[in-house]
Amino acid sequence: MATIAPIHGTPELSERRVNYLNVEHGWKSWLFTTDHKRIAILYLISITLMFFVGGLMAVLFRINLLEPEGIFAPETYNRLFSAHGIIMVFFFLVPSIPATLANFLIPIMVGAKDLAFPRVNLLSWYIYVVGALLTLYAVIRGGVDTGWTFYAPYSSTYSNSYVLAAAFGVFTAGFSSILTGLNFIVTVHKMRAPGMTWSRLPLFVWSNYATGLIQVLGTPVLAITLLLLAFERIAHVGIFDPNIGGDPILFQHLFWFYSHPAVYIMILPGMGVISEIVSCFSHKRVFGYNFVAFSSMAIAVLSFVVWGHHMFITGESMYTSLAFSFLSFMVAVPSAIKVFNWTATMYKGSISFDTPMLYAFGFIGLFTIGGLTGLYLAALGTDVATHGTYFIVAHFHYVMVGGMVMAFVGGLHFWWPKMTGRMYPEAWAKFAALIIFLGFNLTFFPQFILGYLGMPRRYHAYPPEFQALNVLSSAGASILGVGYVIPMIYFLWSLKYGKRAGMNPYDARGLEWTIPSPPTTFNFDTTPVVTQEAYDYGELEEVVG
Amino acid sequence: MSAHEVAIPKVKTLVLVWAALICFTALTTWVASFEFGEWNIVIALLIAVTKASLVVWIFMGVRHVTTLTRLFVVAGLVWLFIMILLTASDYKTRNWTYQAQPWANNPAHGLSR
Amino acid sequence: MAETLVPAGQEELEAQETHLRHHFATPEQQTDAATLGMWTFLITEVLFFGGMFTAYAIYRTMYPGAFASTSEFMDVRLGGANTAVLICSSLTMALAVRAAQLSRRKDLIRFLILTMIFGTVFLVIKGIEYHAKWVEYKVPGFRFTYEPSYYFHHAQILFSLYFYMTGMHAIHMVVGLGLLTYLVIQAWRGIFHARYFAPVEMIGLYWHFVDIVWIFLFPLLYLIGHKR
Amino acid sequence: MWANLSLLSDLQLFPVAASAQAGSIDGLYWWLTIVSGVMTFLIFLFIVIFAWKYQRKPGVKATQIEGSTKLELTWSILPFFVMLSFFWWGAKIYYAAQNPPKNAMEVFVTGKQWMWKIQYPDGSREINALHVPVGQPVKLTMASEDVIHSFSIPAFRVRHDVVPGHYDTIWFTATKAGHYHLFCTEYCGNEHANMIGWVDAMEPREYANWASGGGGGGDLVTQGQQLFQQNGCSTCHLLDSQGRCPNLRGLYNHPVQLADGRTVLADDAYIRESILDPNAKITAGFEPNIMPVFKGQLSEENVIQLIAYIKSLSPTTPASQQGERLQRPVVLAPQGKNGAIKTGASPIVPAQR
Ligand code: HEA
Ligand code: HEA
Ligand code: CUA
Ligand SMILES: [Cu+2]
């Protein structure tokens, strides 16, 4: 580390510089690293693998749905969508942005050398890997067929698939999520550089801080719930068993106490990414910084009081349903605030259409649609007609794939130069963004219609009149699949052949753009002293009434 | 709380707290042998909360920590409370729809049969 | 990271003494982070046990009779004794932290070992209780029997909860004993002193937390409906 | 598969609405769609305008704007009020869905991996098929033998989970005669997708035609009465005097004082529990543990029959729920059918577990 180049070196100088990637070599230097940036890369590789496994499952069962009678045996189909849901949620989307981009960026953004607990950070990756292996083991041994929701008593008593291995896999992955969240919380509280006040934090940090709170407060409940389920399955007696007076609905309460907030784990970090991107490519500070930051916290808190909206028609009490419905509309307000503020940020900006910005457009559009259809589900009357149908499948893919995955891929493009020191090929990237956007809508928009027509989810076979829309959807899925493969290829390509990126290729603001790309192991030679607001793109000129 | 200005508790304080905790244990056991109906559980929980507070406040040193840490301590409990409260609200009100009216549901006098 | 470029000066010495890790600016920052991290971890523990407490609350209001009747099978004397044992262990733990703060190495080791002894006694008593349950066929799923038999079903739920809750608690105790062993070794090696005792304090917090869980388990599982 | 281009010809975009409540749910649905459409359009419009108008031009700098509290409050409070309209409308529909009218005809549904068993008050039974008259409110009381299922008729926009250990109810009034899908919409195992069937909504005349003949074994009450004898209920529960057992006459729909001080209403769910797990709630004044536990002895269908019988002993039972007596529309032409199973939409062999 003796050869650290001056921070503000020219791009040319920084080419041969020692950075976190080339400071040490060999697999040991990766597997035993405590550098948050290297751990982020480890995570990036693992979750990408899981994404492709999950995506492959989706492709397979979309093929099955081309024919009304189905093509595979029902057992196969059920195992496919269960594995798809479990892998995509717990092993891809929950860790996606937090464990990769945020892991990489939060210490840099707050001006620290590392997260508060670097070894815990590494531990969380190992735990993740163990969980993923357990789940993959379950999938390979014959699969799990409970859906990602593991509802009792089917999962505890009736299913004869590998529920235990999968449940333990998810249980394990939960701890990795908890540790990530814990690390972020402590880092944001205790590791900020001098001058980095709360009101100067990048919004990406705010949203990941809020995510951390959800991870810490929610995930343990999932852990204990799955454990209770596992005991019940092992001992053949337990507390959810209706045969001895247990109530299966209690399982759902406990499950959704985590899993509803978890859907915000799966969107808040994405919202943070979009705030950064929109501001950077509008070259303008974020409109209503305080409101955007505050709405993240509001979402985090309110997310814990709406879980019952998944149970409106399960036999949950009518009065409780009323309360949960009302609260669900409250949690939609902070999301709305964000959408409006992103739009307002563009007003009088200086907008350029680089690839990340295209993804941000995609996010705003698709998240809005996904979020608004969430309102159909939160309204008691329409939920009765849509629960358990493809309407819900469409809703959550719009927010999760159209929202979070878009944000993730967009953020990956945005910070790729910072992480690797290379630029991606812009033309290809724009092309891929377009393909993904089109493929996505073709896949999932027909599902809204299917859902209201009544096609139930988790069906391997369906009445023939639904075929046309299903074929459309499957066609879209293959386009979408291709769309995801393109970035994969050019990202790998760019590692070797990409144009070298300077310190700040987009002329963005934020501490991460003041250090070389890729950064050195300790990020900063000397702890930076922050004297500016976030998004300081110029003098404040105008205050709207 | 930072490392250089640690507040070192007095042995006397610690032992006193210990004695109080033991007394409360005896108390809660003793009270439980009376029949107060639903109040039994209320009393038992009140005593448990008192005991827990003593441990948190003195043994775990929360009286010396920053407001931030205190906020975190409270947050855990508030979230637990949310979970229990909203779940219980479901179970408590489930039969209201089909029952006459829960608040009018006095012990049945003179069943008409 | 081990390589130090500048010869060890005053600052490095201090950093070594306080086990300051490279990414922290000051020992204070390090301790603060550890404290906040530990409390955050304890929050997760609250909610972990909270899942079981919620289930308990629901089923207790659903089946009050059955739940009250099970207290007959709960040994209040053993449970009470265990409560006392744990409270004692909490005291010795607090004293251990104090000893570390005052750099009293011998005292520290002494109190840590005392804490471990109390912890072990707790587990032994718990073991006796578990054994009694086993002998009385009160382990759900393993030839469970129950008198009065009309509570058979619902008592099973309570006993499931009993084993889940006390079992989880016992596992936490075992983990705590492991951590204490680590502390004793470190204390033996003279690592802790007035300028560096965070691990003792953190593990102390954990230990007290486990104690608190029991403070709630005792009345809920043993005393409710308990009649002499 | 591409050969099948006729697919597009039967492309359907909106479901038929064949029940009274479908209309109001569709109304809310369109209201939501309009609001969503407008909001989405506005947001897209602004983005496009801004992107167009403020695209990066050399020499033109962005104008830095702090934000505006007034605007923020406007666009959080106004949408919230709009959302309250969703809440209010939805709540009204939901409230109605939870409160079946008193004169509803009762049908009983038992879900089981992987079939729906339907029982009518007249004692006849069907599998995976439900016949209902148009214009008559129908209330379904549903139980599950194993896992959670969900009973859904998209054309009627009704759906409710069927949870083991619960009695769940839905109700609807069919308004359009027709042949409609019946789905299970809660994942319940391998053949979840085959736990489907048909609902036939028939004009009252046709329905009466279809329904005539009744079940071979008499109506539900008679069947229940037989079970009451066979299972020895009658040895304890004498119908005229009260010995060691409560008299079941007049029990239904009355509050019952329990031994532990609580009071519960003797509704279907209570009676079901009293039969399957008698000791869960002990009636005040009686000893626990006298009545045998019938869990495992009686199927959910049998329980439904017994409940029908017990209900028939009570004068306060709404007329519509007293078996075949008042409910049957006038029989027009005997059909001579008397099998217990009338139709089976898809011949599904229940898998053995
Ligand atoms: C990233 C994940 C994510 C996100 C962010 C959301 C966001 C929301 N979800 Fe979604 N949801 C899921 C993932 C997600 N959901 C999943 C995975 C399921 C299915 C689980 C399963 O069963 O397998 C599900 C299911 C689900 C249900 C249960 C349906 C059922 O099973 O019956 C409900 C019901 O209320 C619901 C509601 C909502 C609401 C109200 C929001 C809100 O937060 C949305 C807020 C956003 C907006 C509203 C858009 C922006 C606002 C404006 C542009 C303002 C203008 C608006 C007006 C003027 C009205 N969701
Ligand atoms: C977190 C996120 C996430 C993501 C990213 C996705 C991504 C996709 N999902 Fe996912 N989905 C869920 C979460 C997610 N899903 C959940 C939680 C469920 C509920 C499960 C349950 O019911 O329990 C579900 C259920 C679900 C269903 C309903 C199944 C059913 O109920 O029967 C469908 C149906 O179309 C579907 C489709 C897709 C498709 C087409 C994609 C695509 O976006 C995938 C695109 C990716 C690829 C295609 C992989 C990359 C490409 C290759 C490997 C190359 C080879 C492929 C080709 C050349 C075509 N999903
Ligand atoms: Cu029954 Cu799905
Ligand atoms: Cu939700």
pLDDT (tens digit, 9 = 90+) per residue, D190-214? 999 999 999 999 998 888 888 776 5
Count how many pairs of residues, chain C against chain D, have C-beta atoms within 8 Å: 18
Ligand closest to CA D109: 3
At which of D162, D197, D217 does a domain end? D217
Which tokens hold the place of A82? 């269960």
- Tell me how far CA of residue A145 lies from CA of A149, A199, A261, A424, in angstroms: 10, 47, 24, 40
Asked if residue D266 and residue D208 are part of one domain, the reply reads no
Query: D188 CB less than 6 Å from ligand 3?
Result: yes
CB of D187 shorter than 6 A to ligand 3: yes
CATH code for the structural domain at C55-223: 1.20.120.80
The mean pLDDT of A242-257, rounded to a whole number, is 92
D164 interfaces chain C, CB cutoff of 8 Å: no
Q: How far, in Å, from the CA of D329 to the mean position of ligand 3?
A: 32
Interval D176-187 mean pLDDT: 94
* Average pLDDT rounded to a whole number, residues A213-238: 93
pLDDT of B96 strictly over 70:
no
Residue B3, pLDDT > 50, answer: no
Tokens of A272: 């943070």
Q: Which residues of B touch C90 (CB under 8 A)?
A: 18, 21, 55, 59
From C43, C87, C195, residue closest to B21, measured CB to CB: C87
What is the residue type of D17?
A
Whether D335 shows a pLDDT value over 50: the answer reads no
Q: Model confidence at B99, in pLDDT bands (50, 70, 90)?
A: very low
D150 shares its domain with D284: no
Q: Is the pLDDT of residue C228 over 90?
A: no
Same domain, D84 and D208: yes
Q: Sort B83 into a burial class: Cβ within 10 Å, 0-12 / 13-18 / 19+.
A: buried
Q: Which of A148-152, A167-171, C74-78, C125-129 has the lowest mean pLDDT?
A: C74-78
Structural contact between residues D182 and D194, judged by C-beta atoms closer than 8 angstroms? no
Which domains are seen in chain A, by residue range? 38-540 (1.20.210.10)
What whole-number distance in Å separates Cα of residue C214 and Cα of residue C169? Answer: 7
pLDDT of residue A390: 96
pLDDT for D347 equals: 33
CA C217 to the chain's CA centroid = 12
pLDDT for residue A116: 93
Residues of chain A contacting residue C168, judged by C-beta atoms under 8 Å apart: 224
What is the count of residue pairs from A and C with beta carbons less than 8 Å apart? 114
| pLDDT for A370 | 96
Return the H-helix or E-strand segment holding A385. Answer: helix A380-386
DSSP string, D172-210: EEB-S-EEEEEEE-S--SGGGGG--EEEEEE-HHHHHHH
Buried b (16+ CB within 10 A) or exposed e, C89-124: bbbbbbbbbbbbbeebbebbbbbbbbbbebbebbbe
Confidence class for position D5, pLDDT limits 50, 70, 90: low
pLDDT band at C1 (very low <50, low <70, confident <90, very high): very low
Q: Is residue D172 located within the same domain as residue D249?
A: no
CATH value at residue D32:
2.60.40.420
The answer to whether residue D293 sits within a structural domain is: yes
Chain C CB contacts of D293 under 8 Å are 150
Q: Is C64 on the interface with D (CB under 8 A)?
A: yes
In this prediction, residue C2 carries a pLDDT of: 42
The alpha carbon of D215 and the centre of ligand 3 are apart by a number of angstroms equal to: 27
Give the C-alpha separation, C171 to C52, whole Å: 15
Is the pLDDT at D344 greater than 60, yes or no?
no
Expressed in angstroms and rounded, the spacing between residue A263 Cα and the centre of ligand 1 is 8
Residue D264 sits in a domain whose CATH number is 1.10.760.10
Question: Please, which pLDDT band fits residue B41 given cuts at 50, 70 and 90?
Answer: confident
Per-residue pLDDT at D31 exceeds 70: yes
Same domain, D213 and D226: no
Residue C10 pLDDT level (bands cut at 50, 70, 90): low
Structure tokens at C171: 């596992």
Grade residue B113 by pLDDT with cuts at 50, 70 and 90.
very low
User: What is the per-residue pLDDT across D105-152, written as a single tens digit (0 to 9) for each?
Assistant: 889 999 999 899 998 888 788 899 999 999 999 999 999 999 999 999
DSSP string, A411-472: HHHHHHHHHHSB---HHHHHHHHHHHHHHHHHHHHHHHHHHHHTPBSS-SS--GGGHHHHHH
pLDDT value, residue D243:
66
Q: Is residue D104 part of a domain?
A: yes
pLDDT value at residue D325: 34
- Percent with pLDDT over 70 in chain A: 96
Nearest to D200 by CA among D172, D173, D178, D175: D178
Calculate what percentage of chain D has a pLDDT beyond 90. Answer: 39
Strands D129-133 and D168-173: unpaired
The predicted structure's pLDDT at residue A6:
42
User: What does the pLDDT look like over D300-330, one tens digit per residue?
Assistant: 888 888 888 888 887 655 544 444 333 333 3
Dist. CA C222–CA C211, nearest whole Å: 16
Compute the distance between CA of residue A323 and CA of residue A331 in angstroms, rounded to an integer: 13
Last residue of a domain, one of D167, D191, D217: D217
Q: What is the pLDDT of residues C140-199, one digit of tens each?
A: 878 888 877 778 888 889 899 999 999 999 999 999 999 999 999 999 998 898 888 989
| Ligand number nearest to the C-alpha of A457 | 2
What ranges in A156-267 are assigned the alpha helix state H? 163-190, 203-235, 248-265
Q: Is D186 in the pocket of ligand 3 (CB under 6 A)?
A: yes
In this structure, how many other beta carbons lie within 10 angstroms of the beta carbon of residue D298?
A: 17
Cross-chain Cβ contact D263/B105 below 8 Å: yes
pLDDT at residue A456 tops 50: yes
Averaged pLDDT for residues A196-204? 94
Residue D347 is assigned to a structural domain of this protein: no
pLDDT of residue D4: 53
Q: What distance in Å separates the CA atoms of residue A479 and residue C123, rounded to the nearest whole number? A: 60
C169 CB neighbours in chain A (<8 A) are none
Percent of chain B with pLDDT over 90: 37
Q: In whole angstroms, give the CA distance from residue C74 to residue C136.
A: 11
Give SS3 for C60. helix
Number of domains in chain D: 2
Does D103 fall in a domain? yes
Residues of chain A with pLDDT > 90, as a percent, come to 82
Give the residue-averaged pLDDT of D269-297: 81
pLDDT above 90 for C66: no
Q: Do D257 and D166 have their domain in common?
A: no
C29, D326, D143, C69: which is closest to A194 by C-alpha?
Answer: C29
Nearest CA to ligand 3 atom 1: D149
Cα A441 to ligand 2 centroid, rounded to whole Å: 13
What is the Cβ-side half-sphere exposure of residue A443, based on CA atoms within 13 angstroms? 29
What's the sign of the alpha-carbon dihedral A444, A446, A449, A450? negative
pLDDT of residue A531: 87
Domain check: are D118 and D225 in the same one? no
Tell me the residues of chain B between 94 and 113 that have a Cβ less than 8 Å away from chain D: 95, 97-100, 105-108, 111-113
Question: Does C17 or D133 have the greater pLDDT score?
Answer: D133
Task: Please report the sign of the dihedral spanned by the C-alpha atoms of residue A73, residue A76, residue A80, residue A83.
Answer: positive
The pLDDT of residue A222: 96
pLDDT of the residue at D212: 72
Cα of A304 to nearest chain C Cα, Å: 13
- Does D147 contact A at CB distance below 8 Å? yes
> Which of A448, A59, A64, A458 is CA-nearest to residue D1?
A64
Given a cut of 90, whether residue A439 has pLDDT beyond it is yes
Q: Look at residue D46 in the predicted model and tell me its pLDDT.
A: 95
B52/C36 Cβ within 8 A: no
Domain ranges of chain C: 55-223
Domain enclosing residue D96, as ranges: 17-42+72-217
Q: What is the pLDDT of residues A518-527, one digit of tens each?
A: 998 888 888 8
CB contact under 8 A, D255 and B98: no
Distances (CA, A) of D230 to D110, D226, D298, D302: 22, 6, 11, 12
Closest CA to A519 of A41, A33, A14, A121: A14
**Identity of the amino acid at A468:** A
CB hemisphere CA count around D64 (13 angstroms): 13
CA distance A360 to A352: 12
Q: Chain D residues with CB inside 8 Å of C149's CB?
A: 289
Q: Which residues contact B71 (CB under 8 A, 6 or more apart)?
A: none
Domain identity same for D276 and D161: no
Q: How confident is the model over A91-120, as a mean pLDDT?
A: 95
Confidence of residue D240 (pLDDT cuts 50, 70, 90): low
Q: Are residues D122 and D212 in the same domain?
A: yes
Which of B87, B92, B93 lies nearest to residue A253, judging by beta carbons?
B87
Whole-complex ipTM:
0.90
**Residues facing residue B7 across a β-bridge:** none
Which two three-digit tokens encode residue D66?
């702090």
